[in-house]
Amino acid sequence: MSEYTAPVPGLDAAEVPEPGAVTIVVPTFNESANVRQLLHRITESVPARLPCEVVFVDDSTDDTPEVIREAAQDCPFPVAVLHRAKPVGGLGGAVVEGLRAATSEWIVVMDGDCQHPPSLVPELVAAGERANAGLVVASRYIAGGSRAGLAGGYRVAVSRGATWLAKALFPRRLRGISDPMSGFFAIRRSAVTADVLRPLGYKILLELAVRSRPRRIAEVPFVFQDRFAGESKSSAREGFRFLRHLAGLRTASPVARMVGFGLIGASGFVPNLLGLYALIALGVHYVPAEILANQFGVAWNFLLIEHLLFRDRRAHRRWWDRVGRFALLANADLVLRIPLIALLVGRFGMGALPATALALVLTFVLRFVGTEALVYLPRRRRGPASAR
């Protein structure tokens, strides 16, 4: 094994194997009870058909890295462990680090809980070569596949619902992929650029398909098996992260962000009206009540766009700076709209209703552009000349 000479920030120093025909990337989080069995199954089914190496990217808080290193001594193929000090991006982020560390042209991603059969690894690569594909998905939802290992009707319903939602939001990008929620797939290293990926949570295949979809995709059926040991890491929190991930992917383009911005703005009328009703019921005069109630809508809109539209850009400014700028823009909309309506009516002779509609559209566009430019775009760094 050669030393990994390009360490990834946040990873402990580790060795990565010499190139093989396939690199199996396994993200792990507290899977110490499963990794011996997984390596045993890989040993039984892969090396005789396809030279391989295994890279574990580990976010565990238990002894999983030590168990992997001990079990690796009995393996007839190289095994590496990359333990991340900070689990940035969750399981998806771990897979991205594995893609960066892989040395083979073909990379197979699979879970560490033995629910993905290693015996299918050579078939995934072979299917990719036969079809000249860049991505091969192991699917539970084509002929010959099964979701048998999904325990309980709740998990089945969640899986099917998530699949339907993803395919409804990305009909073109996910065309030809029957199981975008699958965590078991093969990809050519040349078909993906890890730097364009921004994973959140555990649905890395969805991220790959949407952000850097290969031109040709193949599918292979597989039977989702029972866990060998331990419990599923799926939770309501992961479900919310998945929804945030979907929203981030769907609003990646400026046009989609503008649409999302408008829908969020419309939803802000609800807390605004509720706040106005409550303040007037408390005896507050309607003018200050309207001003105060507007702040409820501003707060609501800010929280939604922070988490759904501009999650990747929040690091450019401190939170209080973003709050202040957004509130200023949102309230400036009220100040600007009335003079603009007066101008359209008095100077251009428009009726009050069309003037109001046009003013709403114009101030909305200005507010969206201002929010992007003044709140969430990176600040320009001063160059040497300007610094002097």
CATH of the domain at 156: 3.90.550.10
Identify the top-confidence range among 73-82, 252-261, 293-302.
73-82
More confident residue, 366 or 70: 70
Tell me if 382 is assigned to some domain: no
DSSP letters for 45-97 = HSTTTS-EEEEEEE--SSSHHHHHHHHHTT-SS-EEEEEBSS-TTHHHHHHHH
Q: What is the pLDDT of residue 273?
A: 80
CA separation for the pair 20, 132 (Å, rounded): 19
Tell me if 385 is assigned to some domain: no
Instruction: For the chain, give the mean pLDDT.
Output: 78
Handedness of CA 251, 257, 259, 265 (dihedral sign): positive
Both 183 and 296 in one domain: the answer is no
Show which of 250, 277, 304 is a domain's final residue. 250
Q: Residue 353 class from Cβ within 10 Å (0-12 exposed, 13-18 middle, 19+ buried)?
A: exposed
3-state SS, residue 214: coil
pLDDT tens, position by position, 211-250? 777 778 899 999 887 776 656 555 556 556 666 666 666 6
Both 135 and 244 in one domain: the answer is yes
Half-sphere exposure of 81 (CA within 13 A, CB side): 22
Both 237 and 316 in one domain: the answer is no
Show which of 235, 250, 265 is a domain's final residue. 250
Q: What is the pLDDT of residue 235?
A: 53
Both 228 and 285 in one domain: the answer is no
Tell me if 198 is assigned to some domain: yes
Query: 165 with 171: CB under 8 angstroms?
Result: no
| Domain count across the chain | 2
Q: What is the pLDDT of residue 238?
A: 59
**Residues near 75 by Cβ (< 8 Å), separated by ≥ 6?**
39, 42, 43, 54
Is it the case that residue 274 has pLDDT exceeding 50? yes
Helix residue ranges, H only, 194-235: 204-211
Q: What is the pLDDT of residue 229?
A: 66
More confident residue, 147 or 59: 59
Is it the case that residue 10 has pLDDT exceeding 80? no
Mean pLDDT of 15-26: 69
Nearest 5°: CA angle at 336, between 333 and 342?
135
> How are beta strands 217-221 and 185-188 bridged, if at all?
unpaired
Q: Which domain holds residue 337?
A: 254-376
Question: pLDDT-derived band of residue 127, with 50, 70 and 90 as boundaries?
Answer: very high
CA separation for the pair 305, 257 (Å, rounded): 9
Mean pLDDT of 276-290: 81
**Residues near 116 by Cβ (< 8 Å), separated by ≥ 6?**
110, 138, 183, 184, 222, 224, 225
Both 211 and 306 in one domain: the answer is no
Both 157 and 299 in one domain: the answer is no
Tell me if 293 is assigned to some domain: yes
3-state SS, residue 24: strand
pLDDT tens, position by position, 300-318? 988 888 877 777 677 778 8
Query: 110 with 118: CB under 8 angstroms?
Result: yes
Helix residue ranges, H only, 309-383: 319-346, 352-370
Both 49 and 182 in one domain: the answer is yes
Mean pLDDT of 54-74: 90
Both 12 and 66 in one domain: the answer is yes
Tell me if 223 is assigned to some domain: yes
What tokens does 39 get? 């390596």
Q: What is the pLDDT of residue 89?
A: 73
Both 231 and 258 in one domain: the answer is no
Tell me if 383 is assigned to some domain: no
3-state SS, residue 15: strand
Tell me if 184 is assigned to some domain: yes
User: What is the pTM for the complete model shown?
Assistant: 0.63
Residue owning tokens 């396939």: 22
Question: pLDDT-derived band of residue 23, with 50, 70 and 90 as boundaries?
Answer: very high
Both 55 and 69 in one domain: the answer is yes
Show which of 233, 250, 267 is a domain's final residue. 250
CA separation for the pair 286, 279 (Å, rounded): 8
Residue owning tokens 């060998």: 228
CA separation for the pair 244, 149 (Å, rounded): 26
In percent, the amount of the chain with pLDDT more than 90 equals 17
More confident residue, 4 or 82: 82
Both 220 and 246 in one domain: the answer is yes
- Long-range (24+ apart) CB contacts under 8 A made by 233-239 are 233/29, 233/91, 233/202, 234/155, 234/158, 238/90, 238/201, 238/202, 239/158
pLDDT tens, position by position, 146-176? 776 665 555 667 667 777 777 777 777 778 8
> How are beta strands 135-139 and 106-109 bridged, if at all?
unpaired
Both 206 and 265 in one domain: the answer is no
Tell me if 82 is assigned to some domain: yes
Mean pLDDT of 324-345: 81
